[in-house]
Amino acid sequence: MKILKAGTKIITVIGNIEAMVVGVSIEMDAVQYKIRYFSNGELQEAWLYRFEIEVCPIKQPAGFGAKIIPNYDNEITLIEG
């Protein structure tokens, strides 16, 4: 089972809200992520499933020869089977 690391920057599928993963809850076969984000200057928290979020791409400086770097370091293997 792979899970996102705490501190991973994400975007919600609905609403395109930029947030950060701050916690993980594993119950039976369900994994939820606790995220934090700012809305109208107030800190908000929410619990979301993996299918509700996408990992933010790494931002790079503009210019010729810019390469897309894949986000390999955002997930860890919790249980190998």
Rg of the Cα atoms in the chain:
14
Mean pLDDT across the chain, nearest whole number? 85
pTM: 0.77
User: How remote is the C-alpha of 37 from its chain's centroid?
Assistant: 12
Judged by phi (left if over 0) then psi (alpha if -120 to 50, else beta), residue 19 lies in beta
Residue 62: what are its φ and ψ, rounded to 5°? -75, 155
Fold designation for 2-77: SH3 type barrels. (2.30.30)
Is 45's pLDDT higher than 90?
yes
